[in-house]
């Protein structure tokens, strides 16, 4: 878990997670702001030959501003990517979990 | 001596029949897949390879195929389809009821269409989207040739089996 700040001002928190793609793990980062809204998602390491489009910005920006209470479902709030369906489902699930964890830690005071 | 299906051992004819049937199922499945991803129309094909601006539609996102993806698609399809048409070409070559001229045309045409199709695919991706029409046309010719070849092989094999059973 990472605490992100500039000077004395808290910018938010971030955590790194792994989800299984078709055969290999996808390593990603989720960052939230102090109000527990998702700041950004980034794909840190993508190892499979197919499905790397989940790292493209137009797909990742769909998550910005979401919070743990929001529903993040592929085909509804999150658009699928043709040719990357497995990775889209895996990363969306991973983001949902990590966002819920970060929010719970922050709200319980475990991170501050 | 001319080698035909009639002069082939029975087990080889059985093998040829079942290979042809399984290839028919496989080729048809691949066409269903392409219909699912592109609706089998040139604009759909162009969108699949060149991508679509995510802001212009709410459908599934489609991004341009990368150079590595293009290389993978090209080499896997060219090699596997060359094997498919090698097998159907052999089957057609052994058909006794076809003229030499028709045999040569049916055997060579798919290989030419394969080269045209994959050249069109690259030109469509990196040149002009309108090459999707050429890709569509050559792929259609390829599919029609495959079904004609398969029909001729199965018809010939059935005829030979019938003649064999009548002699017995």
Q: What is the pLDDT of residue B95?
A: 96
Please give the biggest Cα pair distance in chain A. Answer: 44
Measured over the CA atoms of residue B43, residue B44, residue B50 and residue B55, the dihedral's sign is: positive
Q: Which residues of A touch B70 (CB under 8 A)?
A: none
Q: What is the pLDDT of residue B168?
A: 56
Q: What is the pLDDT of residue B57?
A: 85
Q: Which residues of B touch A49 (CB under 8 A)?
A: 68, 72
- Decide if B47 contacts B38 (C-beta within 8 A): yes
Q: What is the pLDDT of residue A90?
A: 98
Q: Are A58 and B37 in contact (CB < 8 Å)?
A: no
Mutate to test the interface with A, among B54, B62, B68, B69 (most CBs of A within 10 A): B54
Is B57's Cβ below 8 Å from some Cβ in A?
Answer: no
Q: What is the pLDDT of residue A49?
A: 85
Q: Which residues of B touch A50 (CB under 8 A)?
A: 69
Helix (H) or strand (E) holding B90, with range, is: helix B67-93
Q: What is the pLDDT of residue B164?
A: 78
- Look at residue A68 and tell me whether its pLDDT is greater than 60: yes
Q: What is the DSSP string of B51-78?
A: ---GGG-SS-B--PPPHHHHHHHHHHHH
- Look at residue B1 and tell me whether its pLDDT is greater than 80: no
N residues, chain B:
168
pTM: 0.83
Taking only the tens place, the pLDDT of each residue in B58-103 is 889 999 999 999 999 999 999 999 999 999 999 999 999 999 999 9
Structure tokens of B30? 């691949």
Taking only the tens place, the pLDDT of each residue in B12-67 is 999 999 999 999 999 999 999 999 999 999 999 999 999 999 989 888 999 999 99
Q: Are B62 and A49 in contact (CB < 8 Å)?
A: no
Is B54's Cβ below 8 Å from some Cβ in A?
Answer: yes
Q: Which residues of B touch A82 (CB under 8 A)?
A: 37, 48, 60-62
Q: What is the pLDDT of residue A111?
A: 82
Q: Are A50 and B69 in contact (CB < 8 Å)?
A: yes
Q: Are A79 and B61 in contact (CB < 8 Å)?
A: yes
Of residues B82 and A109, the one with the higher pLDDT is B82
Q: Tell me, what's the ipTM?
A: 0.82
- Look at residue A24 and tell me whether its pLDDT is greater than 90: yes
Structure tokens of B71? 């290389």
Q: Are B61 and A49 in contact (CB < 8 Å)?
A: no
Q: What is the pLDDT of residue B167?
A: 61
Q: What is the pLDDT of residue A50?
A: 86
CA distance A53 to chain B (A): 7
Q: For A77, which residue in chain B has the nearest alpha carbon? A: B58
For residues A72-94, average pLDDT: 95
| B47 exposure class (CB count in 10 Å sphere: 0-12, 13-18, 19+) | buried
Instruction: Return the number of CB contacts < 8 Å for A and B.
Output: 28
Cα A108 to the center of its chain, rounded Å: 20
Mark which residues 2-41 of A lie under 8 Å from B by CB. none
Is B60's Cβ below 8 Å from some Cβ in A?
Answer: yes
């Amino acid at each position: 878990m990472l605490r992100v700040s500039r000077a004395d001002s808290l910018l938010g928190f971030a955590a790194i997670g792994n989800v299984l793609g078709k055969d290999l793990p996808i390593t990603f980062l989720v960052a939230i702001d102090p109000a527990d809204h998702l700041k950004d998602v980034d794909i840190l390491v993508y190892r499979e030959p197919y499905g790397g489009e989940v790292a493209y910005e137009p797909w990742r920006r769909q998550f910005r501003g979401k919070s743990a209470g929001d529903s993040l479902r592929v085909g509804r709030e999150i658009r699928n990517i043709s040719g990357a369906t497995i990775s889209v489902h895996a990363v969306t699930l991973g983001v949902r979990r990590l966002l819920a964890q970060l929010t719970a830690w922050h709200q319980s005071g475990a991170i501050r | 001596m001319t080698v035909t299906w009639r002069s082939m051992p029975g087990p080889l004819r059985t093998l040829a029949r079942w290979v042809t049937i399984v290839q028919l199922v496989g080729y048809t499945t691949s066409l269903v897949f392409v219909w699912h991803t592109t609706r089998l129309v040139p604009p759909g094909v162009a969108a699949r390879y060149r991508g679509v601006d995510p802001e212009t539609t709410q459908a599934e996102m489609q991004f341009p195929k990368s150079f590595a993806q293009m290389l993978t698609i090209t080499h896997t399809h060219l090699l596997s389809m060359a094997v498919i048409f090698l097998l159907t070409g052999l089957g057609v070559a052994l058909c006794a009821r076809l003229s030499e001229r028709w045999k040569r045309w049916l055997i060579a045409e798919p290989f030419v269409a394969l080269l045209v199709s994959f050249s069109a695919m690259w030109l469509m991706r990196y040149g002009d989207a309108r090459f999707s029409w050429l890709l569509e046309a050559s792929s259609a010719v390829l599919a029609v040739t495959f079904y004609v070849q398969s029909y001729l092989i199965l018809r010939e094999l059935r005829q030979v089996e019938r003649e064999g059973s009548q002699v017995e």
